[in-house]
Amino acid sequence: MSESQASVTLLKPAAGETVSLLNPAHKAYLALPRQERIAFFADPARRGQLAMDAGHWPRPVDFAWHAPAGGAAEYTLHVSRQGDFASGVVVTTRETSFSVYNLRIHCPYFWKVTAVLADGRTIASPVRTFQTADETPRLLRIDGLPNVRDLGGRKTAEGRRVKQDMIFRCTELNAGAYPVYEDEEDVLSRDHGRLRKVKEQLLARIAKARREQAAPPAVVRLPFLLTPAWHVFRPQRQELSSADLDAIRGLTEVPGELLGARREDATVDNLGRFVFANPREGLPSVFMQEFESPADGVMQVGCGGDWFWDFYLNGGLAYYSMSGNGMNPVAASNHVFPVPVKKGRNLAVVVLLSGSAGWVWCCAGQPPLPMETLLARQIAHDELAVAGFAKVLKSRVPAGESRLSAEMKSYMLDTLRIRTDIDLRYELDCHGMSGSPLGASVAWVQVSFHQYDAMVGEEGRKTFAKVFKVLCGEANYPLLFHCAAGRDRTGSLAFILNGLLGVDEEELYKDWEATGFGDNQPFSHETSFLHLIKGLKNAHPQETWRETLEAYVKSCGITREEIDTFRNIMLE
């Protein structure tokens, strides 16, 4: 047998080739200028197409080789960052090709193939090298776990590079706990029939909207007439009684005092958003505004609240969201609906109950929608409200088992070597959990984290400090952090950490946007990410993002020494 027949011929990657780990759809999106990406991200149709074309998985490195004359019984592919192949990927196959996922970016690799011939002899190919492209983000394929990527690989303003295989971000490792509710009829029978009356109102609204769908009435479409200036009252009580609500609905003008609370001014920002400085869960507030209308007609309104709210106009229920806002992050675009307005003076009243993550009211004009679209949305919303507004928690089913197969769990433990699982979900989501789904060898740190502009509030700073203390312990690495979708809380934390390391602002945007590669849910820069940008810049105005983020981190009680420790751990 000649020398050529006695060895395996390597076909691809070619010698010295630079291999991309992003697919064309990833690269096409990331190559867009920032404003084009923002517009792209806000377009549901383009986002949906991006999710289909891109997806969360990286592009694998495809290896191929040529069998010696007569073929071989078995091949073993070796891929390593070291020329002696002391560690790395080792795969045995009967095929003459194989795809390998999750290699590091911007990294030289060595590879070879050994073959066991039919007569039992072992032969080997020459060693060949290739390079992975310097393209971020570093996406990872973990079957059963979408939206996984490495925080590392990016260059900093100093020319250093963030280490790879140290911090990973992802979606939840197991299904969160979920509630079990009391029988609805039992709930409706309580509270002197108040909830039953609300249900009847909602059913009447649905019937009226369906009639208008079938025979659209002639109505005047009015512009958005509300202003950014609201009056707000914060009664000192845990909940509002039926008598309190009747008194609120009976108002015809904004009073100087309501339920013992003095009138305060609340002005929404250019996104239509107002945030209370010190959120406390389950407390009521009442927003009011008088406005003038030039005619009878219908006005389109966009609203969102954290987390339970009702919108009344002139004493009538215009929109019911006391079962929950239902969308995160909270924004004026969450709920867009029509309200009947009368000529002359009108009174808008919003009853808001704070949620677990904040105390936020949003209201602003939105791009006009056809009346048939508004009616269809209103019907769908009211039907959901009818189905769920009388839900009273009875018990909670504990969080589920790991989403990972035994193979993927082993990969995360043995290949990624995860030592710490930082779970950013709320305590209720983690009900019944006592440790990480990855097992007892992984430390589980549960922190009910905040997101976007809530990061700069008192509770947001406290939760950040808890997480950062973990990041200052070198023995805790490699580690991962996640919330439910790996998007909002996870994205806010990733932004701050990479910015603190000196990563360029454009890369910070792109890392947050990468969640959209495979997630076409309704979240956008305008409704979420820009709130983080604005909140941090307003609280800590500095010339560079690194300076702003250092000021923020110090406001959380983190010392200069701890910041330096984190940077020393994470920078090459």
Strand partners, 355: none
Task: Report the distance separating Cα 525 and Cα 506, nearest Å.
Answer: 13
Secondary structure (3-state) at 501: coil
> Looking at residue 226, what is its pLDDT?
94
Name the one residue in this structure whose structure tokens are 């949305």.
377
Alpha carbon 2 to its chain centroid, in Å, reads 59
Task: Report the distance separating Cα 441 and Cα 439, nearest Å.
Answer: 6
> Looking at residue 543, what is its pLDDT?
87
Secondary structure (3-state) at 443: strand
**What is the DSSP code (8-state) at residue 497?**
H
> Looking at residue 283, what is its pLDDT?
77
Given a contact cutoff of 8 angstroms between Cβ atoms, the answer to whether 68 and 7 are in contact is: yes
> What's the length of the chain?
572
Q: Distances from the Cα of 279 to the Cαs of 261, 304, 456, 458, in angstroms?
A: 17, 16, 12, 9
Task: Report the distance separating Cα 92 and Cα 231, nearest Å.
Answer: 70
Write the CB contacts of 523 (distance below 8 Å, at least 6 apart in sequence): 328, 329, 487, 488
Task: Report the distance separating Cα 551 and Cα 26, nearest Å.
Answer: 33
Task: Report the distance separating Cα 197 and Cα 190, nearest Å.
Answer: 12
Whether the pTM exceeds 0.85: the reply is: no
Given strand 61-66, what is the order of strands in its sheet?
A: 9-12, 61-66, 97-100
Q: Which amino acid is at 159?
A: G
Nearest to 529 by CA among 168, 38, 28, 147: 38
**b/e sequence 194-227, b meaning 16+ C-beta within 10 Å:** ebbebbeebeebbeebeebeeeeeeeeebebbbe
Task: Report the distance separating Cα 531 and Cα 521, nearest Å.
Answer: 18
Residue 496: CB atoms within 10 Å: 23
User: Burial level of 564, CB count in 10 A (0-12/13-18/19+)?
Assistant: exposed
> Looking at residue 393, what is its pLDDT?
59
Show the tokens assigned to 288. 């009011």
Gyration radius of the chain's alpha carbons: 28
Q: Kindly report the backbone phi and psi dihedral angles of residue 261, in degrees, each rounded to the nearest multiple of 5, phi listed first.
A: -105, 135
Residue 238: CB atoms within 10 Å: 9
Task: Report the distance separating Cα 237 and Cα 233, nearest Å.
Answer: 12
Nearest to 171 by CA among 142, 198, 196: 142
Task: Report the distance separating Cα 563 and Cα 97, nearest Å.
Answer: 46
Task: Report the distance separating Cα 339 and Cα 317, nearest Å.
Answer: 9
**What is the DSSP code (8-state) at residue 137?**
-
C-alpha distance across the termini of the chain, in Å: 48
| pLDDT per residue as tens, the chain (572 positions) | 444 456 889 999 999 999 999 999 999 999 999 999 999 988 888 989 999 999 999 999 999 998 877 677 789 999 999 999 999 999 999 999 999 999 999 999 999 999 988 778 888 999 999 999 999 999 999 999 999 999 999 999 889 999 999 999 999 999 998 777 666 666 666 655 666 777 777 788 888 888 888 888 888 899 999 999 999 998 887 777 778 888 888 888 999 999 888 999 999 988 888 888 766 666 788 999 999 999 999 999 999 998 888 899 998 888 888 777 777 778 888 899 889 999 999 999 999 888 766 688 999 999 888 888 888 888 887 787 777 665 555 677 888 888 999 999 999 999 999 999 999 999 889 999 999 999 999 999 999 998 888 888 888 899 999 999 999 999 999 999 999 999 999 999 999 999 999 999 999 999 999 999 988 887 788 888 988 998 899 899 998 899 999 999 999 999 999 999 999 999 99
DSSP string, 229-266: EEEEE--SSSS--HHHHHHHHT-SS--SEETTEE-EEE
Q: Which domains are present in the chain?
A: 9-22+58-135 (2.60.40.10), 180-394 (2.60.120), 400-570 (3.90.190.10)
- Alpha-helix runs per DSSP H in 404-527: 406-410, 458-471, 488-500, 505-513
Q: Which helix (H) or strand (E) segment is 344 a member of?
A: strand 344-354
Give 533-541's long-range contacts (Cβ < 8 A, gap of 24+). 534/269, 534/453, 535/452, 535/453, 535/454, 535/455, 535/456, 536/455, 536/456, 536/496, 538/456, 539/456
Q: Distances from the Cα of 367 to the Cαs of 17, 224, 300, 378, in angstroms?
A: 49, 10, 9, 16
